[in-house]
Structure 1
Amino acid sequence: MARNPKKKRVKKKSKAHENVPILDGEQSMATDQQQQPVRVWRPGVDNLEDGEELQFDPTAYDCLHAFHLGWPCLSFDIARDALGVLRNDFPHTMFCVAGTQADTAQNNSVIVAKLSNVTGVRRGLKLANPMDADEEESDGESSSDEEDEGKEARPTSTKVPVLHARMIAHQGGVNRIRCMPQQPHIVATWADTGYVQVWDMLVHVRALSADQSSETLAGGTPSVVRQAPLHIFTGHKDEGFAVDWSPVTAGRLVTGDCKSGIHLWEPTTAGKWSVDRAPFKGHTASVEDLQWSPTEADVFASCSVDGTLRIWDARTRSQAAISVKAHDNDVNVISWNRVASCMVASGCDDGTFRIWDLRSFKEDSFIAHFNYHTHPITSIEWSPHEASTLGVTSADNQLTIWDLSLERDEEEEAEYQAKLKLQQAEAPNDLPPQLLFVHLGQKDIKEAHWHPQIQGLLLSTAGDGFNVLRPSNMENLPAAA
């Protein structure tokens, strides 16, 4: 069940707004923090004076890690695994796939990665030899037990988190990459060459799972292997970014391009698809994102530069079942709530995002409108565990987490503040009460995804690498029934 929509804020909202992570072991806290007034720095609003610097609050995160995969990976997806349906306790192991944006088309690859021993330690990661995992933490780096003063201690490993990867050659940069929910080793890539390809990464996942990844490592850098994709579709008229696997029908796929075309993929025999070359008609500009309904096999949503959000019946290509003018500018991204299937979120090029209830879906019928971000929304995704929680990334280099069930209670916030051992900054009054957390520190941030099996854990990718994080005020969230 989702949390009671009347629930008041009693968590560390103001703390969440003062953290700017300084990654790769460069974190520091001012020695006179308790003596100096503490205030929240608002990105895009406040400026830094000469000699001023932002201080990172280490207690704002249960874990925060950074790692790089060589070239920038502007799209990735988290692969479901067999390590447990719902996991909370550290350390964690996770798998993901990513696509590179290299300097030349020939240098691009699809990367299958395994990140193991993810603890509360905050450090940068590099592709490493498996033997590195046996090293203990270096001096000056503390576990989450030591840093989270006043919080209940929990067991954590003192070993270094390790990243292993397999790299598969890919012609052209990867605009977007997605795993099939039912068979996570089946991966679709949208290339800037205009081709959509489907790959079978099972051999690489098995090798990583069996700790055989060292076979592909040479001096800490994986060698690139070559393999043929299962299927290539060349029928799009231009490159694109929109792609989504059906969570209801295994192997069903929709892809959209920058020339307004949407094509439906139907699985046939093993490793093959039938793609109708007649596109769905309706959009008048680039299709930016696609999302299948979490409950209905023939229903999917699309958004476009034409400003519309459309709901389609896959059996009818001539027109959308519903079309709504969702924003006054390009609609970049959408997310269909997997817990409350009547809810859809849309993110716009003007930095705003809206929440829609499909039970009363029409123009200007959005049930919430947020105008916090100052640059285009680059990704938006509902939590897989909480119906009211979603993550948003923006070109203003922020990852924000929102809980739509929250409302401000000044008395409870004052009571909580009084109980703190250390001074905590007061959040500005003009911030939306639903804004739960702000994560900074990445440049040119593109996508963020919730881990489907680890509560409250997110991965985000940007031009300067990946972050793995779990905010401290996301812990102990109740699971959806």
Structure 2
Amino acid sequence: MEEVVVDGEDEEEMIAALYDKAGTEALRHRIAAEESSTITHRAWDPRNIDESEELECDLRAYSLLQYLGLDWPCLSFDIIPDDLGGGRTTFPHSLVLVCGSQAESTNKNALNLIRLSDLGAVKLDDDEEDDDDRVMEDDEEEEEDDEREPIVERCFFDHPGCVNRVAASAERGVVATWSEDGHVRVFDFRETASAYCQHGISRRPNGRILTSSRVLGGGNTISGYALAWSSLARNKLATGNDSGSLSIFHVDTANVPVLSFATDKSLEDIAWSPTETSVLVTVGCDQSIRVFDDRHSNGPMLTRPNAHTNDINALSWNSAVSYLLATAGDDGFLQIWDLRAFGTHAAPVGTFNYHQKPITALQWDPHDEAALICSSEDHSITHWDLAVEDDDTDQTTADATLAGLPPQLLFVHQGLHYPKDVKHHPQIPNLVISSDYNGLSVYIPALAGKERATD
């Protein structure tokens, strides 16, 4: 065998080439481990932003992020479940919404039915990606799917006056609205909603659609915001107006309330019990939480006065843990109540003081019994995980505590302009929709410990 002689430099090059592929990856991980061991973690408080500062969105914080501009600001919206089933984590996503409007002229207001489809995962540039986030495309078809633009389909129904609140019933296409003209209306567009919720339809109704609506409440012309369908009793609707009147309707049988209660000040929100067909809770501008049973017409069964220091704007009843209630209001406080020990002198089991301005909406996560979201006039949406303990020894939790942040604060979505409503999608875990003066925001946070949706 002929012996090949190489000099020292050539030998070093050959060895480097031989071990390049195997060694580079190991070296990268070793360097990363050494760097992480020397990193000093610091929690950043997004509330301490100077007016001259401008935030830039870091797309690495999201699995999905889309914005949809609307003709007019939207104070309220609701989600209409589609035919694609629940527990969806695979991109692209699609969803159906019904949205109100706050137009400059009364005759320009509308109730909008919107379908968003082909909502793909956030695509990062090379310099934005972490090594663990880099995904190699196996074929051209997958790459084309990732680059598809979202599809927006929309039709609308005329609505007299600004839409204060929208509530979609369990019967798809039956939607109630509170109008600034003082009337509660029930719209029935089941055929159109069915077309928007079915997958694979090539052509759906669009533009202006003529439809009639029923006005509830007789001669009442006092505007309101509190509006909620029972999830257990078909076509059972509760409304609350600015004078403090609570009314309960059986929409399929009558246009007048079957029961009414009077409270002291404006009612801002209503929530029905997830387990009892006759029980509901109200909050309002007198800072009180009231529990009603519509089988009894002599007033609330339980009242907690002065539950907040200012108007209470929002509440949410936990559907998985039926004794937990969340409330929030103008004082910026989020409070959690245990209904097993509720009454005049009940104390909240959790109080979280983060928002610097009024909280406008909140909702428990239907996929996680310990999680909830809040929208606030401080231009942000906050995500909370109440399963985190104050004395948790996790490094991130400890850093947040030292920075004066509640350890239960999981994620902050910013860059909004006075958000008014926020909801979890009931069929797509971790997907959140919010409305503000500029339109709609649809996103999935890329949270550690939460399963990231897959392509």
TM-score bin (small chain): 0.7 to 0.9
**Aligned equivalent of 2:410:** 436
**Aligned equivalent of 1:88:** 89
Of stretches 148-157 and 237-246 in structure 1, the one that deviates more from structure 2 is 148-157
**Aligned equivalent of 2:187:** 199
Q: Structure 1 residues 53 and 237, CA, compared in 2 at 3 Å: closer, same or farther? A: closer
**Aligned equivalent of 1:212:** 203
**RMSD over aligned Cα atoms:** 2.8
* Paired residue type of 2:329: C
Q: Structure 1 residues 152 and 322, CA, compared in 2 at 3 Å: closer, same or farther? A: farther
Of stretches 469-478 and 95-104 in structure 1, the one that deviates more from structure 2 is 469-478
* Paired residue type of 1:275: V
Higher helix share: 2
How far apart, CA to CA, are the structure 2 residues paired with 1:426 and 1:354? 20
How far apart, CA to CA, are the structure 1 residues paired with 2:75 and 2:242? 18
Percent identity (aligned)? 33
**Aligned equivalent of 1:314:** 294
How far apart, CA to CA, are the structure 2 residues paired with 1:144 and 1:428? 34
| Match among 342, 352, 362 for residue 323 of structure 2 | 342
Is contact 1:99-1:109 (8 Å) kept? yes
Is contact 2:60-2:128 (8 Å) kept? no
**Aligned equivalent of 1:239:** 223
* Counterpart secondary structure, 1:265: strand
Q: Structure 1 residues 267 and 411, CA, compared in 2 at 3 Å: closer, same or farther? A: closer
1:159-238 matches, cutoff 5 A: 159-181=148-170, 183-208=171-196, 209=198, 210-213=201-204, 216=206, 223-238=207-222
How far apart, CA to CA, are the structure 1 residues paired with 2:118 and 2:127? 16
**Aligned equivalent of 1:368:** 350
Post-superposition offset of 1:201: 2.0
Higher RCO (Cα < 8 Å, 6 or more apart): 1
**Aligned equivalent of 2:132:** 150
* Paired residue type of 1:348: G
Is contact 1:109-1:168 (8 Å) kept? yes
Q: Does 1:446 align with 2:420?
A: yes
* Counterpart secondary structure, 1:73: coil
Q: Structure 1 residues 412 and 277, CA, compared in 2 at 3 Å: closer, same or farther? A: closer
TM-superposition CA deviations, 1:267-315 (whole Å, max 9, x none): 44xxx5343276213x200011000001100000000101100110012
**Aligned equivalent of 1:56:** 57
How far apart, CA to CA, are the structure 1 residues paired with 2:149 and 2:254? 42
Q: Does 1:98 align with 2:99?
A: yes
Could you tell me the TM-score, scaled by structure 2's length? 0.82
Is contact 1:62-1:144 (8 Å) kept? no
* Paired residue type of 2:203: Q
* Counterpart secondary structure, 1:59: helix
**Aligned equivalent of 2:242:** 258
Post-superposition offset of 1:118: 1.0
Q: Structure 1 residues 236 and 144, CA, compared in 2 at 3 Å: closer, same or farther? A: farther
* Paired residue type of 1:384: P
Post-superposition offset of 1:44: 3.5
Could you tell me the TM-score, scaled by structure 1's length? 0.78
Is contact 1:109-1:169 (8 Å) kept? yes
Is contact 1:100-1:110 (8 Å) kept? yes
* Counterpart secondary structure, 1:71: coil
What are structure 2's unaligned runs of at least 5 residues? Answer: 1-39
Is contact 1:120-1:143 (8 Å) kept? no
What are structure 1's unaligned runs of at least 5 residues? Answer: 1-36, 122-140, 217-222, 418-424
How far apart, CA to CA, are the structure 2 residues paired with 1:375 and 1:286? 20
How far apart, CA to CA, are the structure 1 residues paired with 2:320 and 2:114? 28
* Counterpart secondary structure, 1:241: strand
Q: Does 1:459 align with 2:433?
A: yes
* Counterpart secondary structure, 1:306: coil
* Paired residue type of 1:366: P
Of stretches 339-348 and 52-61 in structure 1, the one that deviates more from structure 2 is 52-61
* Paired residue type of 1:178: A
Q: Structure 1 residues 201 and 56, CA, compared in 2 at 3 Å: closer, same or farther? A: same
Is contact 1:309-1:323 (8 Å) kept? yes
Of stretches 366-375 and 154-163 in structure 1, the one that deviates more from structure 2 is 154-163
How far apart, CA to CA, are the structure 2 residues paired with 1:144 and 1:267? 55
TM-superposition CA deviations, 1:68-99 (whole Å, max 9, x none): 22111110001112211221111111111000
